[in-house]
């Protein structure tokens, strides 16, 4: 997957040059029809950067969720309306992702596959009131080897068992959080680590609240998903549309090795 271009002619702004806010504004002005809207969008981008900063310093493992997970990129991203297929649309999806990230539509997922496991455990299970069903369940379950032994790696031959579906329903959990590596998810629920809880309360909850407060059609999708059986390389994006049509959110890139 090619990275989105950071220059003004493409009307997008990302992290690659590590520019200051003033430099970002100067670079993007030529592609902005409304400088005030751009300024507001850049402000939101900076706020997202502050929210996710602890992932790099403190929560890389809880964000990945599994031991062999290499989370190689986490960064805020901002794309002007002109980057999308229909700049006037109030929704975004597969075709917009393909255009913005230069990815094939075949790599798109919106069912939980390709999302960093730890991110998905909390994102999908957060409610509007800030409670997390994953955190609420953690520490309340007894060890069940039938659940723990269902690894669920990748998409190949990875049907969620009736046993797991019953467990998900019984605890009010979201099925998209358990598409892959269910064994690790169950282990996290049994161990009930403070690190996972802190990651949720300090990063995932503020991230979801911020996006829902300042954008619409908020969701998490997989931009590109490549499964070579013994290794998965994936990238995902969680974001929404501002009132001025900017697509804003956070990009995750990772390698998951069997």
pLDDT score for 155: 77
| 68 has a pLDDT exceeding 90 | no
pLDDT score for 5: 38
**pTM recorded for the entire structure:** 0.87
* Residue 6: pLDDT band with limits 50, 70, 90: very low
Residue 126, CB-side half-sphere exposure with 13 Å CA sphere:
22
pLDDT score for 21: 64
Assign 127 to helix, strand or coil.
coil
| 9 has a pLDDT exceeding 90 | no
Q: What residues pair up with 78 in beta bridges, in sequence order? A: 13, 248
Whole-number average pLDDT of the chain? 88
| 228 has a pLDDT exceeding 70 | yes
Q: Structure tokens of 227?
A: 């499964």
Alpha-carbon span 108 to 104, nearest angstrom? 7
* Tally: H helices and E strands in the chain: 11, 5
pLDDT score for 69: 81
Q: Structure tokens of 92?
A: 């975004």
pLDDT score for 7: 32
pLDDT score for 67: 79
């Amino acid at each position: 997957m090619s990275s989105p271009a950071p220059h003004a002619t493409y009307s997008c702004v990302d992290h690659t040059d590590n520019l200051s806010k003033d430099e970002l504004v100067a670079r993007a002005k030529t592609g902005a029809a409304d400088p005030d809207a751009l300024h507001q969008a850049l402000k939101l981008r900076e706020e997202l950067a502050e929210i996710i900063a602890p992932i790099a310093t403190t929560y890389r493992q809880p964000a990945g969720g599994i031991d062999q997970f290499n989370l190689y990129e986490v960064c805020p991203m901002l794309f002007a309306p002109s980057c999308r297929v229909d700049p006037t649309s109030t929704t975004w999806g597969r075709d917009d992702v393909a255009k913005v990230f230069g990815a094939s539509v075949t790599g798109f997922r919106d069912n939980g596959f390709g999302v960093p496991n730890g991110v998905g455990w909390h994102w999908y299970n957060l409610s509007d009131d800030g409670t997390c069903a994953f955190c609420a369940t953690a520490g309340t379950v007894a060890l069940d080897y039938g659940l723990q032994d269902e690894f669920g790696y990748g998409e190949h031959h990875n049907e969620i068992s009736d046993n797991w579906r019953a467990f998900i329903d019984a605890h009010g959990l979201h099925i998209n959080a358990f598409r892959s590596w269910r064994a690790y998810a169950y282990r996290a629920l049994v161990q009930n680590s403070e690190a996972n809880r802190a990651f949720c309360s300090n990063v995932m909850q503020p991230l979801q609240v911020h996006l829902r407060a300042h954008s619409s059609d908020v969701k998490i999708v997989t931009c590109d998903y490549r499964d070579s059986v013994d290794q998965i390389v994936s990238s995902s994006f969680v974001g929404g549309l501002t009132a001025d049509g900017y697509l804003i959110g956070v990009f995750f890139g990772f390698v998951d090795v069997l």
